[in-house]
Amino acid sequence: MHLILVRGRGIPAPIDHPKQLVVTGLYQYVRNPMYLGVFTVMADEVLLFKSVDLLIFTAGWFVFVHLNVILYEERTLQRKFGESYTRYFGRVRRWIPGRKWPPEKSCRAPGFKSLRWRACSNPLGSKAANSCANDTLTQRR
């Protein structure tokens, strides 16, 4: 939630959609970490309470969320963020977490003698924030 508020400059709700595509934090492993977290809690409750009713509710909830994601959210994100979302969509899975999404560029800050190389903060390469100058790099002592 913090990443959506700070990096995306919005909230994950229809009243104030994020203004930037968030691809850091858990979003570099899976495209829908919040839904996946809720599903995990619900599935754990099914196992804990051994409830068929809760299993049916969880399955129905997941079908609803899945259809919402593929029929609304992904299309909306594609229209809003274009090529950036297309690259992200092609590299990060929808529901099953995978390997960390590797950044496309590396950079270093000028003026440091000894640096630890780090990925640019904007691996999607949007023109708005394609500068490495904003990245925080640590100097080895």
Tens-digit pLDDT profile for residues 122-140? 444 444 443 333 333 333 3
Q: What is the extent of the structural domain holding 18? A: 2-101
The β-bridge relationship of strands 118-119 and 106-107 is antiparallel
Give per-residue pLDDT as tens, 61-84: 999 999 999 999 999 999 999 999
Quote the pLDDT of residue 123.
43
User: Do 73 and 122 share a domain, yes or no?
Assistant: no
Number of structural domains the chain divides into: 2
Rounded CA separation 113/115 (Å): 6
User: Comparing 38 with 4, which gets the higher pLDDT?
Assistant: 38
Burial pattern 86-118, b for ≥16 Cβ within 10 A else e, equals ebbeebbeeeeeeeebebeeebeeeeeeeeeeb
Same domain, 97 and 114: no
**What is this structure's pTM?**
0.64
What's the average model confidence in pLDDT over 91-102?
86
If asked whether residues 95 and 107 sit together in one domain, one would say no
Higher pLDDT, 37 or 16: 37
Shared domain for 16 and 75, answered yes or no, is yes
Q: Are residues 78 and 112 in the same domain?
A: no
pLDDT at 40 over 70: yes
